[in-house]
């Protein structure tokens, strides 16, 4: 059940900010941003900083690759909102056909061995965490993934295994593809924190 304050904002300043951003976007402000504005101590500040570090901090992975990892974790967690939002951001830095192929089946998508091996680790962490074994991590390292890349990918998986669950629990509205694209442009400029 969504609280009315999440929808409209919990104070005059927040309500005005939601209206201004929605007008600038030419679309309804996505629910993820609305929740971030709701009582910042609830999830806004801490979760925003963590997401910013995981998706925009220094990394050997590109922003698009990390956004695609977020979309994959969302897909494994059946979070339609997060799949759409993070796919829309990922395709600003990679071919749409490649992103869609990864989301359809990363095993056969035209991606590097290192990204494929990393996604296999993330799938296990997300779907079957008790099954993660050293040999799977060893296979990723043998495919050329560095320890730093694995740590960065695990950070993306950790934060999105939380984000997708609260997005599903709060029943985020699903924007149109055009609205996702507009919001993606804003997220690339603004970031998460």
Number of domains in the chain: 1
How do residues 88-147 score in pLDDT, each as one tens digit? Answer: 999 999 999 999 999 999 999 999 999 999 999 999 999 999 999 999 999 999 999 999
The CATH number of the domain holding residue 21 is 1.20.1290.10
Which of 159, 158, 190, 156 lies closest to 59 in space, CA to CA? 156
Report the predicted TM-score, pTM, of the whole model to 2 decimal places.
0.84
Half-sphere exposure (Cβ direction) of 52: Cα atoms closer than 13 Å: 13
> What is the domain extent for residue 139?
4-190
Identify the weakest region by mean pLDDT among 25-34, 41-50, 164-173. Answer: 25-34
d(CA 186, CA 193): 13
Average pLDDT, the chain: 87
Name the one residue in this structure whose structure tokens are 């901090």: 57
The pLDDT value given to residue 36: 66
């Amino acid at each position: 059940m969504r609280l009315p304050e999440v929808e409209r904002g919990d104070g005059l300043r927040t309500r005005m900010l939601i209206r201004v951003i929605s007008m600038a976007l030419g679309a309804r402000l996505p629910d993820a941003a609305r929740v971030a504005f709701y009582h910042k101590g609830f999830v806004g500040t801490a979760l925003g900083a963590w997401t910013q570090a995981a998706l925009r901090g220094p990394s050997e992975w590109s922003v698009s690759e990390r956004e695609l990892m977020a979309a994959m974790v969302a897909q494994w967690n059946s979070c339609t909102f997060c799949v759409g939002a993070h796919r829309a951001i990922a395709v600003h830095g990679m071919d749409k056909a490649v992103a869609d192929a990864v989301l359809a089946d990363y095993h056969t998508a035209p991606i590097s061995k290192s990204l494929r091996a990393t996604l296999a680790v993330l799938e296990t962490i997300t779907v079957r965490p008790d099954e993660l074994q050293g040999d799977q991590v060893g296979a990723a390292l043998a495919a050329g993934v560095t320890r730093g890349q694995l740590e960065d990918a695990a950070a993306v998986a950790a934060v999105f295994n939380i984000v997708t669950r609260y997005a599903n629990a709060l029943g985020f509205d699903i924007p149109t593809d055009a609205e996702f694209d507009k919001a993606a442009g804003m997220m690339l400029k603004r970031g998460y924190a």
